[in-house]
Structure 1
Amino acid sequence: MILDVKADVLSPNPGMRIVATAVRGIDNTTDNPEIDALLAASWQDMGAQLNSVGSAQQHPFVAPWRDALRNLGINGKKYPCAIESMVRRAFKSPEPLRLNPLTDFIHSLSLRHVVPLGAFDADDIGGGELELRRTREDDLFQPLDAPEAVPVEPNEVAYAWRNQILTRHFVWRQAAQALIRRETTNAIIVVELLDQVDETATKSFITELHSGLEKFFGPASFPQVLDSDDSRAVLT
């Protein structure tokens, strides 16, 4: 699978990077107490920040996403970044939403580092190119709560495979297609970083992501960083 990030997605926000990796042959069916503990700790740590932060959109690592989305033509209030939505849930509920081991691990890292982090079932989309691009007139999106795919407006920012849109409004909502489920065995993981995440923090995050994937799920490719200078990666 090739990940190709189009220049017009990165250029409005200088310093934006996409971190991508792949993990194969995973067991996503068996609950892992250590992953459960990681998610619970990250969730509780975030919830404890409510009094000092005030609201999810005011969190110092969440607030810049409103500006970044605006630069891409996205209404961040109407289509909030996934990390804003997750922080809001952690502020409201003392108990995390648990889905499956890989998703729970990803959510634990997302909250710990306060960055949007997602994954796609690699087998569900097959080979070829996974793109981060502007949508086109023939693109379709399969909502989680709808029986069939629906057209999307052109010029949205989205992860796409062929004409199948896998996320709406960049980091807002994921499609039913390529969703990580318990039967998932091969996955592609993507992380979106703004320039507020400096080089040291980026290296720390990448190390934690890679070591965690290998510890809990088996061999994973070392995460690659895509930016305006190098926007294409082969994920093996």
Structure 2
Amino acid sequence: MTTFDLLDQARIDDTVLALRPDYRVSLLAVSGLTPGDSDQASDDLLSAAEEKARALLADSPVEELAHVAAWRDAYRSFGAKPQRTRNSLEALLRRAEGGLPRVNRLTDVYNAISVLHQVPLGGEDLDHYVGAAHLTRASGDEDFDTAAGGADVTEHPDAGEVVWRDDAGVTCRRWNWRQGRRTQLRDSTTSSLFILDALAPMTDEQLRAATDDLASHLTRLGPDVLVESRTLGGPEAI
């Protein structure tokens, strides 16, 4: 499946949009990446993100930041407890004061963009995807591969839980809480899918700005990087 096919076939179930009609997602399919360790550019970007987070949290508790609060409400809409299972943006913000992790330059870039633009943002390895991305409400019998106690385990989402999945199983539980191991980014990743999740009060313009910023930083990660994008959900979806 080409990156164009993957984006063209990606979909959101109406059952998800019924929970949050204001939901929009920007999908970026990226190929031609050159793997690399964290570098000065990715470190500088993370440092800027840490500074942004500290400034925001000096004025407000993390749970009261506008987009974090919106995602907490979204979690409650399908029965999740946001104080126990935090959306990916909130989880990063809570780590920022002590320093965001330096993993590799690909992961560093998308973590930094998530904090800088205040948007939950996930990254997946497209070489381990089976079919296109699909946001749906789980039946409860789907497979989700993760780890517990240092061992690989297969879990199943709760019935009604909002999940990202492909044809082989769940790739991310509770909308943007925990990514699976099968499709996680690796130090060797050369082809990726990035998922930027937006709810009101984040505007379409702010979502596009975050998408464009991510794309601009990804293009420096190799001489042959190709970025394709698509927006789903909302009245202006492409």
Using the size of structure 1 for normalisation, the TM-score is 0.88
Conserved in 2, the CA contact under 8 Å of 1:29 and 1:101? yes
> 1:139: which partner in 2?
142
> 2:65: which partner in 1?
59
> 1:193: which partner in 2?
198
Offset of 1:41 from its aligned partner? Answer: 1.3
Give the residue type in structure 2 aligned to 1:156: E
Give the residue type in structure 2 aligned to 1:135: A
Structure-1 separation of matches of 2:158 and 2:19: 20
Give the residue type in structure 1 aligned to 2:212: T
Q: What is the SS of the residue equivalent to 2:109?
A: helix
> 2:91: which partner in 1?
85
Q: Which runs of 5+ in 2 are unaligned?
A: 1-5
Structure-1 separation of matches of 2:89 and 2:13: 22
Describe the shift of the 1:121–1:230 C-alpha distance in structure 2 as closer, same or farther (beyond 3 A): farther
Describe the shift of the 1:38–1:199 C-alpha distance in structure 2 as closer, same or farther (beyond 3 A): same
Structure-1 separation of matches of 2:236 and 2:137: 18
> 2:132: which partner in 1?
129
Is 1:180–2:180 an aligned residue pair? no
> 1:216: which partner in 2?
221
Give the residue type in structure 1 aligned to 2:195: V
Identity %: 25
Conserved in 2, the CA contact under 8 Å of 1:14 and 1:195? no
Q: State the 4+ residue runs in structure 1 displaced beyond 6 angstroms.
A: none
> 2:115: which partner in 1?
111
> 2:3: which partner in 1?
none
- Paired positions, count: 228
RMSD value, Cα: 2.0
Q: Which runs of 5+ in 1 are unaligned?
A: none
Structure-2 separation of matches of 1:222 and 1:124: 18
Offset of 1:149 from its aligned partner? Answer: 1.4
Conserved in 1, the CA contact under 8 Å of 2:85 and 2:177? yes
Offset of 1:178 from its aligned partner? Answer: 0.5
Offset of 1:12 from its aligned partner? Answer: 1.5
Offset of 1:229 from its aligned partner? Answer: 5.5
Which segment is superposed worse, 170-179 or 105-114? 170-179
